[in-house]
Amino acid sequence: MANPPHGGELKDLIARDAPRRKELAAEAETLPAVVLNDRQLCDLELILSGGFSPLEGFMNEKDYNGVVAENRLADGNLFSMPINLDLSKDEVKNLGLKAGTRVTLRDSRDDRNLGILTVDDVYAPDKQREAKEVFGGDPEHPAIKYLMETAGEVYVGGKIEAIDRLMHYDYVALRYTPAELRLHFDKLGWSRVVAFQTRNPMHRAHRELTVRAARQRQANVLIHPVVGMTKPGDIDHFTRVRVYQALLPRYPNGMAVLGLLPLAMRMGGPREAIWHAIIRKNHGATHFIVGRDHAGPGSNSKGQDFYGPYDAQYAVEKYRDELGIEVVPFQMMTYLPDSDEYKPVDEVPKDVRTLNISGTELRRRLRTGGDIPEWFSYGEVVKVLRESHPARNKQGFTIFLTGYTNSGKDAIARALNVTLNQQGGRSVSLLLGETVRSELSSELGFSQEDRNKNIARIGFVASELTKAGAAVIAAPIAPFEKARLQAKEIVEKHGSFYLIHVATPLEYCEKTDRRGVYKAAREGRVKGFTGIDDPYEVPGDKEVKLRVDLSKDSVRTAVHQIVLLLEAEGLLDQL
């Protein structure tokens, strides 16, 4: 029989409110609606399914204060993470929210009504206290940055009545609710289940760790990866799930089940580990593997770790009896080549040879196409990772040329386009400033706001093309640093971004202008002309990857310098 849920009763709101679904759906159409963001949707999904039992809604002020201060709900139940419906003051005012108000909770992705919240209270949280008590107080912590920069100023608490579950179109068969997973365990005859939390791909060491943990406890394994929101920069969940599916047949027959958890992680270390244990208990697990620096975001800009390596294990162990789930400490596994086996590091004699590949080294080998040995990861897992993370010379990139009108950036862009197309190996897309203006931004003017919108559009298009493996050459004027940096940020989610400053002096650009645009600007016939009556913020050395000046060098030389840069970066190795 599966572990009893936290608080003694699984708060499956979908099942509880199913008989009233039609009535609630009709009422929801008559109420004001809160459109939920991605994190709020993840939280709501686990409230509705009972994953956050004993919660039945978003926390009111009494529950919130108890959790922040003492890891306790108002009824005394252990709960370590604030679960809040955060809104702006304007939203609260426009929706007329106050105690007793009923409001629809709506999915931002498809406008479906998911539930109705009856407001208990509307309150202004002490965010500084929340940041310190829950996450440790470091302003660089991602959860604190979200709290201070993104989350609304006001929290709305209250219980929820369920209308419908969230709609998913990926891996539907693996998205078990707690009730479904408990039923599955019962069907399989499992009474002892070790849950393994992960937001990363799994390799042989993870398989050995989980098999060892299960065998020592005469239990089975629940591989329970997070597929909601994880740490920025993590491998996407589509790739990770394909990895888990490839790995599953490597477990002894019938030992492991894969289920997906739609959780929005906070990367909250000790607090998050307690929360994760509660969630796994609600899903029926009897044991929970807590890793080294479990759910920690790493270190800050000074190189200081946000949490100690074993803080999370100590926190869960402290509440072990109350949690009713046994903590399984994550053992670092290492490979012994002479005996072709994995063992915990602390069980290996000093004179025995060991091998390991760090996460950094694995990423390097994926990036460069380097060998990933069978002892480290199974061939079918490596195949999935290589498909999603092609070698450096097959990755997309963006060359972003910025400079004055007639600086030569367009000529360089056209010549580079020809050069890369001649060499082959990947598709090449050319985004000239005038082309983008006529095809994508024809309604925009030349105010700073409109110029920034234009660059944002170029950045978006470049990022999508880069993600698809293309070489992108963009050549707008891009006079403002903030817009250039925003374009860089969005592109670098998918590939490399190189800012090339075409630093041809304004006087030379004007002197060699055969179209007469500078003359028109000097005479006042053209307004808002960069360099004449509109500013150009010269890129600093930290922003620029390469500077070229066509008053001194030729287009051919500039293109050659860019090609050498790309070759040095490993992007043109096979061209």
Instruction: State both tokens at 6.
Output: 């936290």
Q: What is the Cα 324 distance to its own chain's centre?
A: 31
Query: Among residues 128, 155, 153, which one has the least CA distance to residue 62?
Result: 155
Please say whether the beta carbons of 133 and 144 come within 8 A. no
For residue 346, the number of C-alpha atoms closer than 13 Å in the C-beta half-sphere is 4
CB atoms within 10 A of CB 211: 18
Specify whether 354 is catalytic: no
The catalytically annotated residue of 199, 242, 280, 484 is: 199
Q: How far is Cα 498 from Cα 483, in angstroms, rounded to an integer? A: 15
Q: How far is Cα 514 from Cα 525, in angstroms, rounded to an integer? A: 17
Please say whether the beta carbons of 481 and 487 come within 8 A. no
Q: Which residues contact 310 (CB under 8 A, 6 or more apart)?
A: 292
Q: How far is Cα 476 from Cα 155, in angstroms, rounded to an integer? A: 43
The catalytically annotated residue of 37, 101, 118, 200 is: 200
Specify whether 200 is catalytic: yes
DSSP string, 409-423: HHHHHHHHHHHHHHH
The catalytically annotated residue of 77, 104, 198, 402 is: 198
Q: φ and ψ at 124, to 5 degrees?
A: -95, 115
Specify whether 199 is catalytic: yes
Query: Among residues 31, 180, 59, 56, which one has the least CA distance to residue 130?
Result: 59
Q: How far is Cα 130 from Cα 254, in angstroms, rounded to an integer? A: 43
Q: φ and ψ at 193, to 5 degrees?
A: -130, 125
The residues that are catalytic are 198-200
